[in-house]
């Protein structure tokens, strides 16, 4: 199986893919295909260049990854799994701390270290890159350049760890999702998760209200509350149609095959302009023991 991830080698996306592979018991069976950016992972999947993709969805410091949310809306994909990666950012460079004038990283990496950068390098030029490992690769060119990336990339690209654990919060985690094309999603779910009822499942959907009216969102959320369904995440994202128009991304406990979930979604659908199912999948810490 070919897995599309953000590259080059050394990204947290690569770590997420390897972690998910090991968790699902597929170690040694899969090949990673490195992409220049997150959009390219979705495009590769769409063109059948890979079987599944692993992309970042949200970070505990910086929040959601906008491009991933947008492509989940725009592409015909299904979520079949998730994994959570502990993020440890380091400042990597060929030179010393006093030499550094330019700092590179993925926008999420820069955002997760915003306070550190303001305090330690207020005069440094900040540049965004496609990934943290791409930043590390570029930082090899000049001693006055540094990258925010994982400690593993220091050895990969022959860089010094100038400072470690530089993220603004001690605990820094990113949630990654595993996606595939909708027409192959169910096949992969059966292969990777089985049908063990002991697994704990999560379901993700996108809802578009279509028209703004008092209590519209409340009526939708009320269906979940009345059915005693636990929402684990809800977030709005611009619909890109007009200012102030939003779609809502909702995660909740349970499987679409559960009668209570089916009934709740059946009751919600007439109340919204669009309801898109992104998939039901095993939660990160709840994969079946058989895997």
Domains and CATH numbers, the chain: 2-87+172-183 (3.40.190.10), 90-163 (3.40.190.10), 196-286 (3.30.70.260)
Q: Supply the pLDDT for residue 200.
A: 83
Whether the CA torsion 16, 193, 30, 38 is positive or negative: it is negative
Q: What is the pLDDT of residue 185?
A: 58
Which tokens hold the place of 187? 């096949």
Per-residue pLDDT, 283: 80
Catalytic residue, from 24, 129, 174, 203: name it.
174
Instruction: Tell me whether residue 177 is exposed, middle or buried, using C-beta atoms within 10 angstroms of its C-beta: 0 to 12, 13 to 18, 19 or more.
Output: buried
Angle between helix 259-268 and helix 216-226 axes, rounded to 10 deg = 160
Q: Which regions of the chain are under pLDDT 50?
A: 194-195, 286-291
* Distance (Å, whole) CA 43 – CA 36: 11
- H or E element at residue 108: helix 107-112
pLDDT at 16: 94
Nearest residue to 239 via CA among 227, 248, 250: 248
Which pLDDT value is given to residue 189? Answer: 62
**For position 1, what pLDDT does the model report?**
87
Residue 127 CA to residue 121 CA, distance in Å, equals 13
**Has 176 been annotated as catalytic?**
yes
224 given a catalytic annotation:
no
CA distance 79 to 100: 41
Q: Omega into 8 within 30° of 0, i.e. cis?
A: yes
- Pairing outcome for strands 231-238 and 246-253: antiparallel
Predicted confidence at residue 214, as pLDDT, reads 74
Question: What pLDDT sits at residue 193?
Answer: 54
pLDDT at 244: 82
Predicted pLDDT at 245: 85
| DSSP secondary structure string for all residues of 26-47 | -TTS-EEEEESSHHHHHHHHHT
For 166, half-sphere exposure in the C-beta direction (CA atoms, 13 angstrom radius) is: 28
0.95 surpassed by pTM = no
Say which of 42, 121, 176, 188 is annotated catalytic: 176
């Amino acid at each position: 199986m070919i897995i599309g991830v953000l590259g080059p080698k050394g990204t947290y996306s690569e770590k997420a893919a390897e972690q998910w592979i090991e968790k699902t018991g597929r170690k040694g069976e899969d090949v990673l295909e490195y992409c220049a950016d997150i959009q390219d992972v979705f495009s590769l999947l769409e063109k059948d260049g890979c079987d599944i993709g692993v992309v970042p969805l949200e970070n505990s410091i910086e929040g959601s990854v906008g491009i991933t949310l947008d492509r989940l809306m725009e592409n015909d994909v299904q979520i079949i799994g998730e994994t959570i990666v502990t993020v440890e950012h380091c400042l990597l460079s060929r030179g010393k701390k006093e030499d550094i004038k330019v700092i590179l990283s993925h926008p999420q990496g820069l955002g997760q270290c915003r306070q550190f950068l303001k305090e330690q390098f207020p005069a440094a030029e900040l540049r965004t890159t496609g990934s943290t490992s791409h930043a590390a690769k570029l930082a090899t060119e000049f001693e006055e350049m540094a990258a925010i990336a994982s400690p593993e990339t220091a050895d990969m690209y022959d860089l010094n760890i100038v400072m470690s654990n530089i993220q603004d919060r001690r605990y820094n985690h990113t949630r990654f999702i595993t996606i595939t094309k909708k027409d192959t999603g169910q096949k992969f779910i059966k292969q990777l998760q089985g049908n063990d009822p002991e697994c704990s499942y999560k379901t993700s959907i996108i809802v578009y209200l279509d028209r703004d009216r008092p209590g519209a969102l409340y009526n939708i959320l009320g269906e979940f509350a009345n059915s005693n369904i636990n929402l684990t995440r809800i977030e709005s994202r611009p619909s890109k149609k007009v200012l102030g128009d939003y779609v809502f991304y909702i995660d909740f406990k349970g499987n679409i095959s559960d009668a209570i979930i089916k009934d709740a979604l059946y009751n919600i659908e007439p109340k919204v302009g669009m309801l898109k199912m992104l998939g039901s999948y095993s939660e990160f810490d709840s994969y079946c023991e058989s895997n």
